Amino acid sequence: MSLFYQPEVSNGVLFLDEEESRHCIKVLRYKTGDTIQVQDGRGNIFSVRLTSAHQKKCEFEVIDTEFQQPPPYYIHVGIAPTKNLDRIEWFVEKTVEIGVQEISFISCKNSERKVLKLDRLERKALSAMKQSQHRYMPKLNELRSFNELTTKITETDKYIAHVDFDNPVGLARSAKAGGKYCVLIGPEGDFTSEEVEYALQNGFKKVSLGSSRLRTETAGIVACHTLNLINDA
Amino acid sequence: MSLFYQPEVSNGVLFLDEEESRHCIKVLRYKTGDTIQVQDGRGNIFSVRLTSAHQKKCEFEVIDTEFQQPPPYYIHVGIAPTKNLDRIEWFVEKTVEIGVQEISFISCKNSERKVLKLDRLERKALSAMKQSQHRYMPKLNELRSFNELTTKITETDKYIAHVDFDNPVGLARSAKAGGKYCVLIGPEGDFTSEEVEYALQNGFKKVSLGSSRLRTETAGIVACHTLNLINDA
């Protein structure tokens, strides 16, 4: 059964937006009186009955609600977006499938991309959430400076990934299950030594993601998967 | 420094092919007498001196050879190619970056793709090997039937991944370091119960790749990364 999306059901918004309405009524041909399922990306799945099967604004009433607790860990990946947009989109799709709670885009000294629009990425994330049957929509944050992100995050288990650290500890060894993680992934030209130093001063630990030299988006996926694996015992 | 590719140096082939020659001579402007590095994807990096800087067939002589042993484990991923070619190409690029020794494409009952050309995928693999500075070029096998692959592989640690197994054991728990692994990843419509049964009869173990519902190419990358992580201690 299809799962539709309306993030504000709990706040009394009892209709689908235009795109979801069209899909529900025009493509899947649901009619007034039919029951569908709506998720809010905040842990709830609502069984709802259509009260107005309008293809631009499909209205419903809630019959039943099922809530799922969020996972007992929190994965936040901070990543310098690549020049090629496809690679960022692919990163978002894959980390959402695998499981991520928050993604921040960082503007670094060596960043190849200083501007980033979130709307396409939000759509990718939504589609991946539905596809992978996750209940929680990850939070995507606008591009911020490295220093701003590094000082403002609230997670307690903070890591900065880098290929060329001396004697690095692997993320899989350093992180413990049940953590509130934030992992920073640098641009193709890597973090500068000043950026690394600044992160260390702000409580980040240096970690390695293994012996392979990974592209930015691959490093982000590998970090996200490693943290999921630690918790998926 | 750029790393060029010629798989047959050890068999006496002392020139670059047309594409690599053009890149070496026309783009990077190397000249006769210059020293470059050539890898063969079989563990060797050769320091070579150009003897004829021709842009279609650049000849050289070997000055020095450096050999790196292959890793003490072997990862073979058998995967049903997706309908969308981009997704298979991504899978190849990412697994080569992360580390894979062999990829087989499987034609399953529910496969959406019954024909697959390897040349584009070979180029993706080559480019990813260079990018990630790996010394070994993975072997890519032509599309074969599920039954043929399942009965003919020689790896000893054989796994079949499936989302809906009852009480599945995670691949990370089941596999031990230093193994010769083969993991099978099914199509979007999954393996049929007959295929699963056939694999079990041929010594495969059922494993899970975690609680998320992953697309085929994501499952392949996750399996490959899990096996690398077990070995990258």
The mean per-residue pLDDT over the stretch B191-220 comes to 93
Q: Torsion angle of alpha carbons A112, A114, A118, A123, nearest 10°?
A: -10
Cβ within 8 Å, pair B225-A228: no
Query: Residue with structure tokens 């529910």?
Result: B110
- The count of CB pairs under 8 A between chains A and B is 74
| pLDDT band at B212; cut points 50, 70, 90 | confident
Cβ within 8 Å, pair A226-B228: no
CATH number at residue A17: 2.40.240.20
pLDDT, tens digit (0-9, with 9 covering 90-100), for B98-153: 999 999 999 999 998 888 999 999 999 999 999 899 999 999 999 999 999 999 99
What's the mean per-residue pLDDT of chain B? 94
Which of B97, B172, B221 is opposite residue A215, by nearest beta carbon?
A: B97
Q: Where are the beta strands (DSSP E) in A53-175?
A: 59-67, 74-79, 102-107, 139-145, 157-161, 169-170
Say if residue B82 is in the same domain as residue B58: no
Query: Residue with structure tokens 């396409």?
Result: A120
pLDDT, tens digit (0-9, with 9 covering 90-100), for B76-89: 999 999 999 999 99
Range of the structural domain that residue B13 is part of: 3-67
pLDDT above 80 (res B164):
no
Beta strands across the sheet bearing B102-107 = B139-145, B102-107, B74-79, B180-185, B157-161, B205-208, B169-170
C-alpha separations of B169 from A129, A137, B74, B161, B163 in Å: 24, 27, 21, 10, 11
Sequence-separated (6 or more) residues with CB below 8 Å from residue A119? none
The two three-digit tokens of residue A188, written as one number: 């193709």
Chain B residues near residue A233 by CB distance under 8 angstroms: 170, 173
pLDDT above 80 (res A164):
no
The mean per-residue pLDDT over the stretch A96-118 comes to 94
Q: What is the count of structural domains for chain B? A: 2
Chain A residues near residue B210 by CB distance under 8 angstroms: 98-99, 228-229, 232
Say if residue B113 is in the same domain as residue B196: yes
Given this model, what pLDDT does residue B1 score? 66
The mean per-residue pLDDT over the stretch A199-208 comes to 95
pLDDT, tens digit (0-9, with 9 covering 90-100), for A26-60: 999 999 999 999 999 999 999 999 999 999 999 99
Given this model, what pLDDT does residue A1 score? 67
Say if residue A102 is in the same domain as residue A175: yes
Given this model, what pLDDT does residue B189 score? 87
DSSP-based three-state secondary structure for B16: coil
Name all contacts of B171-177 with Cβ < 8 Å and 24+ positions apart: B171/B207, B171/B208, B171/B209, B171/B223, B171/B226, B171/B227, B172/A229, B172/B226, B172/B229, B172/B230, B173/A233, B174/B205, B174/B207, B175/B207, B175/B226, B175/B227, B175/B230, B176/B230, B177/B73, B177/B230, B177/B231, B177/B233
| pLDDT band at B165; cut points 50, 70, 90 | low
Chain A residues near residue B133 by CB distance under 8 angstroms: 212-213
Say if residue A38 is in the same domain as residue A97: no
Reported as type and span, the H/E element at residue B35 is: strand B35-39
Given this model, what pLDDT does residue A112 score? 84
The mean per-residue pLDDT over the stretch A131-154 comes to 94
pLDDT above 80 (res B166):
no
Distance from CA of B54 to the nearest CA of A (A): 32
The mean per-residue pLDDT over the stretch B151-164 comes to 90
Chain A residues near residue B101 by CB distance under 8 angstroms: none
The two three-digit tokens of residue A98, written as one number: 């695998």
Q: What does A96-117 look like in DSSP terms, one character per residue?
A: HHH--SEEEEEE-TT-S-----
Provide, rounded to the nearest whole percent, the portion of chain A with pLDDT above 70.
97
Q: State the distance between the two ends of chain B, measured CA to CA, in whole angstroms.
A: 30
Given this model, what pLDDT does residue A232 score? 83
Given this model, what pLDDT does residue B86 score? 93
Say if residue B140 is in the same domain as residue B41: no
| pLDDT band at A93; cut points 50, 70, 90 | very high
Given this model, what pLDDT does residue B168 score? 77
Chain A residues near residue B220 by CB distance under 8 angstroms: none
Say if residue B20 is in the same domain as residue B50: yes
pLDDT, tens digit (0-9, with 9 covering 90-100), for A58-79: 999 999 999 999 999 999 999 9
What's the mean per-residue pLDDT of chain A? 94
DSSP structural state of residue A205: E
Say if residue A214 is in the same domain as residue A185: yes
End position of a domain, from candidates B42, B67, B92: B67
Cβ within 8 Å, pair A232-B90: no
Cβ within 8 Å, pair A98-B222: yes
Say if residue A37 is in the same domain as residue A150: no
The mean per-residue pLDDT over the stretch B181-198 comes to 94
Tell the burial category of B184 from Cβ atoms under 10 Å away from its Cβ (0-12, 13-18, 19+): buried
Chain A segment 136-175 residues within 8 A of B by beta carbon are: 170, 172-173
Nearest to B52 by CA among B41, B61, B43, B44: B61
Say if residue B116 is in the same domain as residue B203: yes
Which of B133, B228, B233 is opposite residue A213, by nearest beta carbon?
A: B133
Q: State whether residue B211 sits within 8 Å of chain A by CB.
A: yes
Cβ within 8 Å, pair A131-B232: no
Distance from CA of A189 to the nearest CA of B (A): 13
The mean per-residue pLDDT over the stretch B193-199 comes to 95
Say if residue B23 is in the same domain as residue B7: yes
Q: State whether residue A97 sits within 8 Å of chain B by CB.
A: yes
End position of a domain, from candidates A67, A90, A111: A67
CATH number at residue B220: 3.40.1280.10
Say if residue A141 is in the same domain as residue A219: yes
Cβ within 8 Å, pair B98-A215: no
Question: What ipTM is given for this predicted complex?
Answer: 0.92
Chain B residues near residue A174 by CB distance under 8 angstroms: none
Given this model, what pLDDT does residue B39 score? 96
Say if residue A201 is in the same domain as residue A137: yes
A198, A150 contact by CB (below 8 A): yes
End position of a domain, from candidates B51, B67, B83: B67
